[in-house]
A and B are shown apart, each in its own frame.
Chain A
Amino acid sequence: MQLRPIVTFTAQKLLRLGLLLLAVAIFTFVLLSLSPIDPVQAYIGADMMRISPEQQQLIAERWGLDQPMAVRFWDWLGQLLQGNWGTSMVFNQPVGEVIAKRFWVSVQMLAIAWLLSGVLGLGLGILSGALAGSWIDRVIRLYAYTLASSPTFWAALLLLIVFSVSLRVTPICCAAPPGVLAGDVTIWQHLHHLLLPAITLSIIGIANITLHTRQKLIDVLHSDYILFARAQGEPLWGLIRHHGFRNLILPALTLQFASLSELFGGSVLVEQVFAYPGLGEATVQAALRSDIPLLVGIVFFSALFVYTGNTIADLAYPIVDPRIRLGGSQS
Chain B
Amino acid sequence: MGKRKQVLLGSLGTALLGAVLVGCGSGPTGSGTEEPSAQTGSAEQIVLAIAGESEEGYDPTLGWGRYGSPLFQSTLLKRDADLNIINDLATDYRVSEDGLTWTVTIRDDAVFSDGEPLTASDVAYTFNQAAESGGLTDVTVLEEAVSIDDTTLELRLNEPQSTFVNRLITLGIVPEHAHGPDYARTPIGSGPYQMVQWDEGQQLIVETNPNYYGEAPGIDRLVFLFVEEDAAFAAAKAGEAQVVSVPQALAVQTIEGMTLYDVTSVDNRGLMFPYVPASGETTSDGDPIGNDVTADPAIRQAVNYAVDRQALVDGVLEGYGSVAYGPVSGLAWEEPSAAIEDAQPEQAQEILAAGGWTDSNGDGVLEKDGLTAEFTILYPASDSTRQALALTTAEMLKPIGIQANVEGKSWDEIEPAMHSNVVVFGWGSHDQTEMYNLYYSQAAQGDFYNAGYYANQAIDETLDLAMGAPSEAEAIAFWKAAQWDGDTGFTAKGDAAWAWLVNLDHTYFVSDCLNIGQPQVEPHGHGWPITANIAGWEWTCN
Seen from chain A, the residues whose Cβ lies within 8 Å of a Cβ on chain B are: 36-37, 43-44, 46-55, 58-63, 90-93, 101, 111, 115, 164-165, 168, 172-182, 184, 186-191, 275, 277, 281-282, 285, 312, 315-316, 319-320
Contacts and interface: CB of A to CB of B under 8 A. Distances in A.
B133 A187 contact: no
B138 A181 contact: no
Contacts of B34: 180, 184
Interface of B: 1-2, 4, 8, 12, 15, 18-19, 22-23, 26, 30-31, 34-35, 38-39, 45, 47, 55-57, 59, 62-63, 66, 132-136, 138, 140, 184-185, 196-197, 199-203, 205, 221, 223, 225-228, 231, 234-235, 238, 240-241, 412, 426-427, 429, 431, 433-434, 437-438, 445, 447-449, 524-525
Contact of B1 (A52, A55, A101, A319): A319
Nearest to B412: A36
Given A165-B234, A175-B199, A191-B19, 10 more contacts: A53-B445, A54-B138, A173-B202, A173-B225, A174-B202, A178-B223, A179-B203, A182-B197, A186-B31, A320-B1
B15 A187 contact: yes
A241 to B, nearest CB: 19
A176 B228 CA distance: 16
Given A90-B56, A186-B30, A319-B2, A48 B448 contact: yes
Contact of A312 (B4, B223, B431): B4
B199 A50 contact: no
A315 B55 CA distance: 41
Nearest to A271: B201
A54 B133 CA distance: 12
A61 B135 CA distance: 11
A49 B434 contact: yes
Contacts of B449: 48-49
Contacts of B437: 49-50
Contact of B138 (A52, A60, A320): A52
Contacts of A61: 134
B212 to A, nearest CB: 21
Nearest to A180: B38
Contact of B66 (A47, A63, A179): A47
A272 B445 CA distance: 37
Nearest to B11: A111
B1 A277 contact: no
User: Shortest 4 CB-CB distances between A and B: which pairs?
Assistant: A277-B201, A62-B134, A92-B56, A36-B412
9 contacts: A58-B133, A111-B12, A175-B199, A179-B39, A179-B223, A186-B23, A186-B30, A187-B18, A188-B22
A172 B445 contact: no
A49 B429 contact: yes
A319 B202 CA distance: 43
Contact of B203 (A59, A90, A174, A190): A174
B333 to A, nearest CB: 15
A60 B184 CA distance: 19
A275 B22 contact: no
A49 B203 CA distance: 30
B140 A52 contact: yes
Contacts of B185: 93
B294 to A, nearest CB: 21
A179 B38 contact: yes
A4 B406 CA distance: 69
B140 A54 contact: yes
B432 to A, nearest CB: 10
Contacts of A58: 132-134, 140
Contact of B136 (A51, A91, A281): A51
Nearest to B2: A319
Nearest to B431: A50
Nearest to B267: A46
A62 B133 contact: yes
A312 B3 CA distance: 12
B537 to A, nearest CB: 17
A48 B438 CA distance: 11
Nearest to A47: B136
A49 B448 contact: yes
A276 to B, nearest CB: 8
